[in-house]
Structure 1
């Protein structure tokens, strides 16, 4: 009898729910708008009621509580998404489906998918950075998703400013963190409201963005020493960024530590929009 596994990639805009067999062949997949928990989760429950799954992997937008010792383990915590703050996501799933669960962040799910089936295939470690409306990062070291008291919030590491950047930063918490200086809304604000995809590819703006993304890569290399750094998200679809990031990384690192060849070290996501859901399936299989 074929075993089936469930996956939920829970995003701030949509939830992708899917069921697949042990070979990752998709049986059914749906996209559900992220509105309020009562509406969205009702559709999630209806979807999984149709399938008998062995385990479910959930990779959620956050912040979320991943600390198993915490009284709010499995909750979304301080999210700005209306209605979702302090929502017991995992608890509500467990009330309805008595199966093993994997519970992690959306970016950790994507990092795990890329490690096992994507750009970091054959490696033991990687960092996945999504650069879009916000910036988030997932980390897998020695084949394990990194979590501790909480989960990594790489998008909020503090940046040393580009010498020509006068923009104050978009993040309401930290101003000049990585997200505050290099996410889509920051790029747009720096350019006086011009959308990132409308900015000419040779504009100075991209040099500034590349500087911050490269600086993040330097910081991650020095702290985690991953075998790959993988970029996803809408901003990273600007292909001209990658040579600029690698060049800036080389300057900022200044030959301090050895790294793999940069063309093979700082790369674009390979699984695209399927990275997260793939990671969810793989984590579900491990949770069984």
Structure 2
């Protein structure tokens, strides 16, 4: 009887404490290109600060057809369209360079690393002698910047033919611009990534046509095709947010439940 009670208490403690989290945690700034999707719930990501660029609109252009994750979840084989995105509107500085990636900044506001997963943080856009980029795990990377107060060596000159934000390694944002949070509070993006020992900046786009709730609803009062389409739409949105969910889980130990 005592053994059963002990196990129950232990399981309760695990549920209360949550999952393991990284020892050294960065400030996380998340920027959505365009307006806030009305079905996106910021509270699912309590360790992130969210900002938006409501003056920017996006045009999605069909790029290719891929296997549908939404249909796959229902046990049905099918396809869905993948899109390229063209941004327009203001501020133009937000899309002059492709910033839709997860990039680390040091306390001076200089690009310092690229986050792909907790096991894969790219430490430089330059390729090594083997022709590949160097990667370390997040624990090692964050310890250097947060505990040891490391900063990235400032770049002496602008990068040649930059295509992505990470190409500006050792420098700040190529152009500063204003963003706004859900409460209407404005800030310059350079201010958000400066002053903290380590800041993870993640920019992404979530189409306003994505409904993160519809696919979770019961299909009892829906037509079969409507139910399937809602499921595909919601799964597509969750897939777009997969890296954001990984950041919340891998670094802060909070599993995002949809």
- Which TM-score applies when normalising by structure 2? 0.29
Q: Which gives a bigger RCO, structure 1 or 2 (Cα 8 Å, sep 6+)?
A: 2
- Which TM-score applies when normalising by structure 1? 0.27
Tell me which protein shows more strand as a share of its residues: 2
